[in-house]
Every structure is written in structure tokens, then in C-alpha cells.
Structure 1
Amino acid sequence: MSDASTDDPTDALIDAALMHVPFDGWSETTFRAAIADADVPRAVARGLFPRGPVDLALAFHARGDRRMAARLREQSLDGLRMRDKIARAVRLRIEASEDREAVRRGMTLFALPVYAADGTRALWNTADAIWMALGDTSDDLNWYTKRATLSGVYSATVLYWLGDESPGAQETWAFLDRRIDDVMRVESAKAAVRKLPLMGSLMDLQNRMVTRVRPPRNARDIPGSRQGTHAAHPFD
């Protein structure tokens, strides 16, 4: 499945790089080999990816987000609970990763301090892409809590998947279900605490303090503007 025509130099470079990443990682060596294999002019490749292999790795990750959203649109989610829709979307996103070793090498790259912010932003964008694909319309603090919670679930599941040798990655999907269940239990506990007279008042005070938070006008701007509402369940 491709995002554009086969003449798209971005896709051509990513596909060519995937042949080299298992051996050389997301490195300058891989980037140069991809340019040669894809027969893309060096000036064009550098224009598309000014930082070379780092930007190429980010493009590979972003392509996975787009493919997840496209595959999710092809499926019927009617009748599914939100937690099941989220599990379906996370699974589709991991399956859209194409190459486990490329993901592993990418995590190694973005663990480096100089690229850590890029990796964090890519993870946040994945969580945002999943919520947007599921039709999220939150416009308050929930916009942040949903994405932060899902980022944790997704990253933990990817780490498990990288070491999973079970047929069809069945152990990974069971792990994913457990992580979502953990989130649901925490939120149920918080709801019970809110019913206690004193704790409920304290949490109401906290909610009033953040009542003017809004999502960013531009998805790349974190945090956004401050305006208002009440925090809800992150998977609602």
C-alpha cells in the first residue's frame, strides 16, 4: 500500500532505505545508499530531508501514521466500545510499521539526547493521528490527557512487540488489552475518589484551575492556548 504514486521520491527513498537499515541503522551510510538505489538526485533528497537519515526516519514513522489512518477508515467500527476502537487502531498502527528492525533502529536513534525531542514529537503525533482517525472532537484539557495516556500505552506496546516471537504477535495484542484495562481501572478509581466529599472538592478545585486549557491551534504547538472545561476519562 502506498501513499502516492511510485514516482514519489519520499516513498522511494524510504523503501530503498529499509533495505539497509537492518545493517547500518538510520545513518548517513543508509541515506546515501537509499539515494543511489532509488536513483533520486542528491539535491532532491537533501531538499526533502535536510538532516538526512534523521528526517528520513521521521518520514518513515509518519508514513506509518498515514497508513494506519487509511486502514482504519476501511474498517467498520460500528458497535465497538471506545477501548476496543483504540486497541484496533493501535494494532493497525503497529502492523503498519512494516519492518520491526527499522522500528528498533529508530528507537535507538531517537533515544540519543540530540534527537530525543524529535522522537517524543513523533510519538505524540502518532497518538494524535489515532485519536483523529477515531473522530476525537475534544477541545479542552482532554485533548492533552487522551494523547498523553495513549502515548504511554502505544510506546509500551511497541517495546513489547519488538521482543514478541509469538505467532501473529498474539502476546503483543494481549499485552495491549491489559494496558488499556489498566487505564480503565485507574480512571474508575479516580471516579470513585471524586465521590468522596473532601476528595471530590479537592479534585473539583483542580479541575477549575485547568478549566481554561485548550488544544493548540497548530498541532505542532505544545501547549496550546488557555480557555476552558472539565477533565474527563482519557479513553472516552
Structure 2
Amino acid sequence: MTMPFDETRDKILDAAVMHVPFDGWSDATLAAAAADAGVDLAAARAMFPRGAVDLALAFHDRGDRAMIERLRSEDLSALKFREKIAAAVRFRLEAVEDKELVRRGATLFALPNHAADGAKAVWQTCDRIWTTLGDTSDDVNWYTKRATLSGVYSSTLLYWLGDNSPGHQSTWSFLDRRIDNVMQIEKLKAHVNNNPLLKPFMAGPNWLLGRVKAPTRMPDVDLPGMMNRR
């Protein structure tokens, strides 16, 4: 009996994580994982057309889905919104079972030909955080929220990779400081916009920014070579 597509792909990914610490996210890892999973290599390559990069993106997507599931199951009602954002970033990092898998992924996405894929993966994670937490912005704020969080997430991820403190407490403190920095920027923006002396100078830029709209959301797709957006 043939396994469903998703089940087969997950089986290959489960097998791949055993090889990544030794071979990285590579075609060698894909071949070894397919063999371990009992999947024909040609079929595996059809599921991951770009080989290593699609395998690494599937791993990243799995972490995102674990984060979303935890965000939906945890009671965050008592938290301030900035604390919910911090919790989401923390949940995302805690979804990783082995730092070496992420470290190897960072190496792969540092390559010029895969840098855009890495940036897209980080943006998607931050988009999923905002969307899951109920963000309904449809103007320029849609972009600024995700761009700002991408910076916070990326810097926290790099800090976390080198953090050996008990329970990663140093990382969570670093994350809180980065979010505090962002909040200071937001306060400054509000002060500028509300300042009667500066307000006339902001009329033009604010009008222009007001014309920016969030992108239309496309339906979720699950095709080879594309990250699943479940």
C-alpha cells in the first residue's frame, strides 16, 4: 500500500534529522534519509525537487507548525501583547530538538544562492506569529510589524545558538531587551506623529504610507518545492 504524500515526506524528514549533524542539509542527507525511510530516491527527489534546500525548508516549516499549535493551546490571555510576542519567539526556538540542525541550516542559507530562501523562511515565521496572535492590519503596519519582528527573531536565534546558560535564560533576557528596544521605537514614532510642530512635515510621508496595503492572502498550497502553510 502506498503511503500518502504528507506521511511519506514526514518519514523522510524524520530520517533526515539523524544525518544532518554529520552531512548537513545536503543531497547526501536526502539520499540517506530516503534509503532509511524505504522510499525510492526518485520519489524523494520529486517531493524535494531542490534537494537539500527543500529538505531544510520542510524542517523549518515543521517548527513553525509546532509553534502555532502551542500558541493555540496555551492560555496567553493574562499576558500583555509584547509578552505574547516574546512567548511566540520562545515557543518557536523551543520547537527545535537539536541546535545543530538549525546551525547547519544557517550555514546553508548563508550561501548566496539560498539567502533569499532563508529570508523568506524567517519572514514566514514572523507572519505566522502575528497572524496566529490575531493581527488584522492591512496597511503599511502589516509590513513594519513583520519586518521588525524578523530583526528581533533573527538576532535572538543567533544569540540562542551560542547560549549555554541553564534553561537558555540568557536568551530569554536578550529577547526581552530586543522587544523593549522595539517598543521604544514605537513610542518615538507616536511622539513624532502627535507633535504639533512635526505633524505638518509628516503629512506627505503619512499620506504616501497610507496608500500601502497588505498583500492579498493566497490559499494554502502543498506542492513539491513549496513550504506547507498549514
TM over 0.5: same fold?
A: yes
Supply the distance in 1 between the matched residues of 2:111 and 2:138 (Cα, whole angstroms): 33
Where 2:210 maps in the other structure, the secondary structure is: coil
1:1-236 matches, within 5 Å, as 8-218=7-217
Supply the distance in 2 between the matched residues of 1:113 and 1:139 (Cα, whole angstroms): 32
Amino acid at match of 1:164: D
CA 1:96/1:49 → structure 2, altered by over 3 Å: closer, same or farther?
A: same
Supply the distance in 2 between the matched residues of 1:70 and 1:44 (Cα, whole angstroms): 29
Q: Is the 8 A contact 1:193 1:199 kept in 2?
A: yes
- Deviation of 1:218 after TM superposition, in Å, equals 3.6
- Deviation of 1:219 after TM superposition, in Å, equals 5.5
CA 1:89/1:219 → structure 2, altered by over 3 Å: closer, same or farther?
A: farther
Amino acid at match of 2:193: R
Output one character per residue of 1:62-105: Cα deviation in whole Å (capped at 9) or x when no partner.
11111100011110111211100000101001111222111011
Where 1:153 maps in the other structure, the secondary structure is: helix
- Deviation of 1:199 after TM superposition, in Å, equals 2.1
Output one character per residue of 1:17-57: Cα deviation in whole Å (capped at 9) or x when no partner.
11111111111111111111111222321111001111000
Supply the distance in 2 between the matched residues of 1:28 and 1:193 (Cα, whole angstroms): 52
Where 2:213 maps in the other structure, the secondary structure is: coil
Bigger mean CA offset, 122-131 vs 8-17: 8-17
Q: Is the 8 A contact 1:61 1:97 kept in 2?
A: no
- Deviation of 1:193 after TM superposition, in Å, equals 2.4
Supply the distance in 2 between the matched residues of 1:194 and 1:217 (Cα, whole angstroms): 28
Supply the distance in 2 between the matched residues of 1:202 and 1:15 (Cα, whole angstroms): 56
Identity %: 62
Supply the distance in 1 between the matched residues of 2:168 and 2:218 (Cα, whole angstroms): 32
Across the two proteins, how many residue pairs are aligned to each other? 215
- Deviation of 1:195 after TM superposition, in Å, equals 3.1
Supply the distance in 1 between the matched residues of 2:78 and 2:36 (Cα, whole angstroms): 46
- Deviation of 1:201 after TM superposition, in Å, equals 2.0
- Deviation of 1:186 after TM superposition, in Å, equals 1.4
Q: Is the 8 A contact 1:141 1:214 kept in 2?
A: yes
Structure 2 gap ranges (5+): 220-230
Supply the distance in 1 between the matched residues of 2:130 and 2:158 (Cα, whole angstroms): 21
Supply the distance in 1 between the matched residues of 2:22 and 2:203 (Cα, whole angstroms): 54
Let me know the Cα RMSD of the aligned residues.
1.6
Amino acid at match of 1:205: G
Bigger mean CA offset, 148-157 vs 14-23: 14-23
TM-score relative to the length of structure 2: 0.89
Where 1:139 maps in the other structure, the secondary structure is: coil
TM-score relative to the length of structure 1: 0.87
Supply the distance in 1 between the matched residues of 2:172 and 2:201 (Cα, whole angstroms): 37
Bigger mean CA offset, 110-119 vs 189-198: 189-198
Structure 1 gap ranges (5+): 221-236
| Residue in 1 that maps onto 2:225 | none
Where 1:152 maps in the other structure, the secondary structure is: helix
Amino acid at match of 1:30: T
Where 2:113 maps in the other structure, the secondary structure is: helix
